[in-house]
Every structure is written in structure tokens, then in C-alpha cells.
């Protein structure tokens, strides 16, 4: 009889317990072993819940029980999660976590600790909620060299942008609705400013390229400045504005991770990912483009991913699954954002096609123009300096740039 413990009985932790109890027979069959929920660590008591008698107040109770082989960490935040997870790993107990902040900031250390103590540190639930993405990238695509990963990794911002595009709500109204529906926190900063998506692209970048990418190394811009009219113009041109977290491998051997709103072309499936759903697109030399789509958050979706890791751990029975990346000085392999280059969407004051073509070179013929404004897609790839130069050149011709977004094809 193996036992597991759950750290933190909030939304995700209680989901882990409830989904396990619901599907216990099936899970035990798939594990090939019997499995029991041993402990829930929480400062609160839950006298009214069926598992209330499993609540303990000290991590030491869990560490001391040799029957506990795997621990689900669902507390969130760096501390005390980091201390507890590290202690579990040092006691040879494998850990499955849903905590993206912990993995993004301390993943390298915890992976090393797990390896040293012959156990596993799993984190399928830390990116994309229910979406199988960590294991597919790490296992199924292991024969490939990655060239890029791009994803919609935050459901709250995707919901807001979707409401702007489909229901013509402006940003503030859409945010208010997201808060009313429980998709956005009272303080929505982490979602809206892109910090949550940033943590997740750190994890995917580290996994794809084998070296730890820390959040402070990633250029991050949120969606607060996205204007309703740009979502509308983009739609008319065949694009959707999405908060895209991506990482690209560059020719110089470095990588360039970014989080920012981009105009996604409607031939890219990411443009069709709506509501609170998340998706990740990978590009590799063997498999080409693959996409993974599903619920990026929520009680049972996230619990599904946490439990999937725990089931594999029980099946593995002591085998190390070799999921790892190295600690690294980010300055050595992360390119500066100044090198980021992409096709661009521009909205300007009313401008002649001739003027736009003179400044930008290759402009897509399909533009939208009225007496006040002109929007166009520039086919040439431009970096930030080139955008600045174009803005100045247009100003000299009496055309003001009102908005611009990089394009994802």
C-alpha cells in the first residue's frame, strides 16, 4: 500500500483529493497498485469534508511516514512551498506540483535535489492546467531539436481579449466581467501584466532548451494597453490579437523568450483558441508543428494533471524519469529583446499606400483606411529599432503611428 500526501487544500488540492476518490478504482488499475490518500497539509481544518480526518498541521508528519512515496504540492507561491518540496525530495519522496512560480524560480534546484535523492520532481500541472504539455515535450518529442514554442498560457487574458473581439467590450468592461465570473483575481496584475504567462514560458523554455530561464530574463508586456479598435481591425485583416508567450531559437545559438500581445494570423490554430482555453504550439525539426489545447486552469483540470504525474510516479516505482535542466547564467544564452524581429501590424493616422510602402517597403495590399486612420500589415520583419525609425520617418511625412503589434504567422 502506497500513500500520497497533498500540501494545501485550496481549489487545486481539494480537486486532487476529490478526483482521486471519484476515480480510485480506475487509477489503481492503471497504477497496477493500491494507492491511498494519506495526509492533507493545511493550516485550516475541514471538519465537514469526508477527508477532514486526514488533515495534519506539520510537514514532519508526512516526512516521517515511509509509506508516503509521492506528494502533491498545491500551495502556490515560493515559500513555504519551496522548503516543503525540497524536504520531501530530500526524504526520497517524489513531488508533483501545480505551482508555476515555484518551478519558474526554483525548478533547476528542485530537479537537482530530486536526482540526488533518487526521486522525481514533476510539474505537468504548472503549465496549461489540464493540457498534457510537459510530458509530451519531454518524452514524445525527445528526438527533436526545438526551434520555437508559442502559447496562449493565461486563460484570464485570453477571455478578456476574446470578449473584446467577439462582444466588442473594451478592456475595462471585459476585465470586470472576468472578475465577476471568477476568472480574474481582485488584483489582476499577475494575469493582465503577463507575469503568469511569463512564468509558464520560463518553464517551457527551460524544458525545450535544457537550461533554466528565469522570469526576470524575459521581456514581458501585458494586455492593458490593447485597444478595442485594434482587435476589430485585426479581425477584419484576418488576425486575432492574443497574449502570446513564446521562445525562439536564434541562428547565433541563443534563445529569445517573450510575452506580449501579438496579431496571430488566422491560419495559425492559436488564433482560434477562445474563451479561457490555453494552447501551446511547438516547432521542431522532426515533428514540425504540434499543438496542445485544453483547459488552462480550474479545480479538476489542474487536479487531472497533478494526479497524472502521481500515477506515473507510482508506476515508475523508483525509476528516475530524467526530466532535467541545468542552472545557468541567463546572460550567456538569452538574447536581448532588441534583437526580436517580426512582421508588424500598424495603425496610423490616415496615410496613402504610397507613403506606407515608401517607409515600410513590403506592405500587404489589403489595408483598411478611412478619413482618420489607416491600418496595414508590414511583411518585412522589423525589430524595435526599425520600428522606431519607421515611426520617425512617417512623422516626417505627417503620419502618426497610433498602435503597432508584432505578427505571429
Cite the active site residues.
200
Nearer to a copy of itself, 322 or 353 (CB): 322
Shortest Cβ 226–a copy of itself spacing (Å): 23
**Residue with cell string 502533491:** 72
Environment class of residue 181 by beta-carbon count within 10 Å: exposed (0-12), middle (13-18) or buried (19+)? Answer: exposed
Site for a copy of itself contains 269 (CB under 8 A): yes
Cα Dmax for the chain: 77
Shortest Cβ 118–a copy of itself spacing (Å): 13
**Of 293, 340, 346, 405, which lies in the binding site for a copy of itself, with binding defined by CB under 8 A?**
293
Nearer to a copy of itself, 26 or 331 (CB): 26
Q: What DSSP line would sit under 327-387, residue for residue?
A: ---GGGTB--GGG--EEEEEEEES--HHHHHHHHSSB-S--EE-SSEEEEEEEEEE-HHHH
* Strand blocks (E) in 181-229: 219-220
Binding part of the chain for a copy of itself, among 25-33, 178-186, 337-345, 359-367 by CB under 8 A, reads 25-33
Site string for a copy of itself, 318-347 (x = CB under 8 A): -x-xx-------------------------
**Of 300, 364, 379, 393, which lies in the binding site for a copy of itself, with binding defined by CB under 8 A?**
300
Distance CA(28)–CA(47), nearest Å, equals 27
Q: 319 by DSSP, 3-state: which? A: coil
Supply 73's cell numbers.
504540492
* Binding positions for a copy of itself, 74-133, rule CB under 8 A: 124, 130-132
Beta bridge partners of 35: 2
Shortest Cβ 126–a copy of itself spacing (Å): 13
Distance CA(356)–CA(369), nearest Å, equals 12
Nearer to a copy of itself, 26 or 43 (CB): 26
User: Interface residues with a copy of itself (CB under 8 A)?
Assistant: 19-20, 22-23, 26-27, 29-32, 124, 130-132, 135-136, 139-145, 210, 269, 272-273, 279, 284-295, 300-301, 303-305, 307-308, 310-312, 315-317, 319, 321-322
Amino acid at each position: 500500500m502506497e500513500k500520497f500526501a497533498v500540501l494545501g487544500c485550496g481549489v487545486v488540492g481539494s480537486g486532487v483529493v476529490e478526483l482521486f476518490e471519484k476515480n480510485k478504482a480506475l487509477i489503481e488499475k492503471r497504477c497496477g497498485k493500491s494507492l491511498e490518500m494519506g495526509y492533507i497539509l493545511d493550516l485550516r481544518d475541514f471538519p465537514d469534508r469526508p477527508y477532514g480526518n486526514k488533515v495534519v498541521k506539520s510537514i514532519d508528519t508526512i516526512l516521517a511516514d515511509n509509506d508516503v512515496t509521492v506528494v502533491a504540492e498545491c500551495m502556490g507561491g515560493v515559500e513555504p512551498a519551496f522548503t516543503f518540496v525540497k524536504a520531501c525530495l530530500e526524504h526520497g519522496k517524489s513531488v508533483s506540483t501545480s505551482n508555476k512560480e515555484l518551478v519558474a524560480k526554483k525548478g533547476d534546484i528542485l530537479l537537482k535535489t530530486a536526482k540526488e535523492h533518487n526521486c522525481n520532481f514533476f510539474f505537468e500541472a504548472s503549465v496549461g492546467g489540464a493540457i498534457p504539455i510537459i510530458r509530451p515535450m519531454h518524452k514524445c518529442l525527445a528526438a527533436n531539436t526545438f526551434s520555437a514554442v508559442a502559447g496562449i498560457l493565461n486563460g484570464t487574458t485570453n477571455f478578456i481579449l476574446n470578449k473584446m473581439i467577439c462582444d466588442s467590450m473594451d478592456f475595462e468592461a471585459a476585465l470586470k466581467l472576468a472578475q465577476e465570473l471568477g476568472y480574474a483575481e481582485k488584483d489582476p496584475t499577475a494575469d493582465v501584466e503577463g507575469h503568469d504567462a511569463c512564468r509558464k514560458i520560463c518553464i517551457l523554455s527551460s524544458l525545450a532548451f535544457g537550461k533554466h530561464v528565469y522570469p526576470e530574463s524575459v521581456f514581458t508586456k501585458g494586455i492593458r494597453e490593447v485597444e478595442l479598435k485594434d482587435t476589430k481591425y485585426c479581425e477584419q485583416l484576418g488576425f486575432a490579437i492574443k497574449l502570446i508567450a513564446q521562445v525562439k531559437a536564434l541562428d547565433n545559438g541563443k534563445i529569445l523568450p517573450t510575452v506580449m500581445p501579438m496579431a496571430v494570423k488566422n491560419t495559425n490554430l492559436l488564433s482560434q483558441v477562445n474563451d479561457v482555453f490555453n494552447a501551446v504550439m511547438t516547432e521542431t525539426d522532426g515533428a514540425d508543428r504540434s499543438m496542445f489545447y485544453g483547459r488552462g486552469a480550474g479545480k479538476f483540470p489542474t487536479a487531472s494533471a497533478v494526479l497524472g504525474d502521481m500515477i506515473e510516479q507510482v508506476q515508475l516505482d523508483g525509476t528516475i524519469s530524467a526530466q532535467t535542466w541545468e542552472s545557468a547564467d541567463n546572460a550567456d544564452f538569452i538574447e536581448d529583446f532588441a534583437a526580436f524581429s517580426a512582421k508588424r501590424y500598424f495603425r496610423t493616422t490616415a496615410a496613402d499606400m504610397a507613403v506606407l510602402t515608401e517607409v515600410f517597403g513590403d506592405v500587404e495590399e489589403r489595408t483598411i483606411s478611412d478619413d482618420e486612420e489607416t491600418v496595414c500589415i508590414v511583411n518585412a520583419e522589423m525589430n524595435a529599432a526599425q520600428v522606431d525609425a519607421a515611426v520617425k520617418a512617417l512623422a516626417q511625412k505627417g503620419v502618426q503611428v497610433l498602435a503597432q503589434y508584432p505578427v505571429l504567422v
